[in-house]
């Protein structure tokens, strides 16, 4: 099965960092690359159909040239790169370009003020996570030269881990990931013994695949502060969460994850289906 990295480029200040990581990830995974830009076409309301089509075509051609020029600077020429400039919403486009003969990873940038207020709450990346079953990697601006060598995986015994999704991720990142650490937050509504039993069993199961596999449980009123101190915030550690878990459903967890860990902590986020 071929591998493909689909990188969403918007020409913001995040694009160069995202392309650098695309190049690194393509080296790790031996994957093809598809760079996508969605054109925010601004057409005068009174334009006729021909004028509208001409304006759109000009904007798409200009965007394609810019996309190719940017990629030429950041991605080595040996990579197999394809380009797509589109008007379609990405949540409609991505299923249409899915392939039965390739596994896809979607890469996108995480922004600060503005987008940060909307992340997971109606933004494009949120819609992709919520509506599509794709492994999605969201990369913050503050750290460069990312390389996924350690995965910190947030779990809760109430939401069984998608083991096939994690196994796929480990296969995709084979040769790069050297360490796993399962973490869980115990709230007053949780049973600590059940949490401990589940996280220990997961650690034992995955130690066969990644020998350096550990676990840690956080509890009490200072649990979030402890997690912030625990996260290294380096360019080798990625936080892994699963679509549908409490960490992505609960507003308090979302705010903490996005603001404190992802944006301010500069920790890349991987979302499993």
Domain residue spans of the chain: 2-140, 150-268
pLDDT value of position 186: 82
Residue 209: what are its φ and ψ, rounded to 5°?
-90, -40
Res 96 pLDDT > 80: yes
Summarised one tens digit per residue, pLDDT across range 59-79 is 889 989 999 999 999 898 888
For residues 159-167, average pLDDT: 90
pLDDT value of position 166: 94
The mean predicted confidence, pLDDT, of the chain is 81
Of the candidates 90, 105, 72, which has an alpha carbon nearest to the alpha carbon of residue 10? 90
Measure the CA–CA gap between 238 and 147, rounded to whole angstroms. 9
Measure the CA–CA gap between 130 and 124, rounded to whole angstroms. 10
pLDDT value of position 121: 34
Q: How far is CA 261 from CA 29, 202, 224, in A?
A: 26, 23, 10
Residue 258, C-beta contacts closer than 8 angstroms, at least 6 positions apart: 110, 116, 119, 120
Measure the CA–CA gap between 174 and 172, rounded to whole angstroms. 6
pTM assigned to the model? 0.84
Contact predicate 4/103, CB 8 Å: yes
Res 37 pLDDT > 70: yes
Share of the chain above pLDDT 70, in %: 79
Q: Burial of 228 by CB count in 10 Å (0-12 exposed, 13-18 middle, 19+ buried)? A: middle
Contact predicate 90/119, CB 8 Å: no
CATH number of 2-140: 3.40.50.620
Backbone region of residue 269 per phi and psi (left: phi > 0; alpha: psi in -120 to 50; beta: other values): beta
Print the SS3 string covering the chain.
Answer: CEEEEEEECCCCCCHHHHHHHHHHHHHHHCCEEEEEEECCCCCCCCCCHHHHHHHHHHHHHHHHHHHHHHHHHHCCCCCCEEEEEECCCHHHHHHHCCCCCEEEEEEEEECCCCHHHHCCCCCHHHHHHHHCCCEEEEEECCCCCCCCCEEEEECECCECCCHHHHHHHHHHCCCCCCEEEEEEEECCCCCHHHHHHHHHHHHHHHHCCCCCEEEEEEECCCHHHHHHHHCCCCCCEEEEEECCCHHHHCHHHHHHHHHHHHHCCCCCEEEEC
Summarised one tens digit per residue, pLDDT across range 203-229 is 999 999 999 999 999 887 787 778 878
Dihedral, CA of residue 63, residue 69, residue 74 and residue 80, to nearest 10: 80
Summarised one tens digit per residue, pLDDT across range 187-201 is 777 788 999 999 999
Summarised one tens digit per residue, pLDDT across range 132-158 is 778 888 887 665 678 899 999 988 888
pLDDT value of position 120: 40
Residue 239, beta-bridge partner list = 152, 269
CATH number of 150-268: 3.40.50
Fold match, 2-140 / 150-268: yes
pLDDT value of position 100: 67
pLDDT value of position 41: 63
């Amino acid at each position: 099965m071929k591998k493909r990295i689909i990188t969403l480029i918007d020409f913001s200040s995040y694009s160069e960092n995202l392309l650098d990581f695309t190049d690194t990830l393509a080296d790790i995974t031996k994957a093809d690359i598809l760079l996508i830009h969605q054109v925010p076409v601004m057409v005068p309301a009174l334009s006729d159909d021909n004028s509208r089509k001409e304006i759109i075509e000009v904007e798409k051609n200009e965007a394609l040239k810019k996309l190719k020029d940017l990629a030429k600077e950041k991605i080595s020429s040996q990579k197999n790169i394809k380009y797509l400039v589109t008007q379609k919403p990405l949540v409609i486009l991505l299923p249409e370009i899915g392939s039965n003969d390739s596994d896809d990873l979607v890469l996108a940038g995480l922004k600060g003020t503005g987008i940060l207020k909307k992340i997971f709450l109606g933004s494009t990346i949120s819609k992709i996570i919520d509506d599509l079953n794709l492994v999605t990697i969201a990369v913050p601006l503050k750290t460069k030269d990312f390389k996924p060598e350690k995965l910190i995986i947030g779990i809760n015994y109430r939401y069984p881990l998608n083991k096939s999704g994690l196994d796929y991720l480990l296969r995709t990142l084979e040769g790069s990931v050297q360490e796993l650490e399962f973490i869980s937050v115990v709230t007053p509504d949780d049973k600590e013994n059940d949490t401990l039993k589940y996280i220990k069993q997961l650690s034992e199961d995955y130690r066969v695949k990644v020998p350096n596999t550990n676990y840690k449980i956080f509890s009490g009123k200072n649990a979030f502060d402890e997690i912030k101190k625990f996260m290294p915030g380096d360019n080798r550690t990625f936080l892994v969460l699963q679509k549908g878990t409490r960490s992505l459903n609960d507003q308090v967890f979302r705010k903490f994850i996005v603001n404190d860990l992802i944006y301010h902590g500069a920790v890349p986020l991987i979302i499993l289906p």
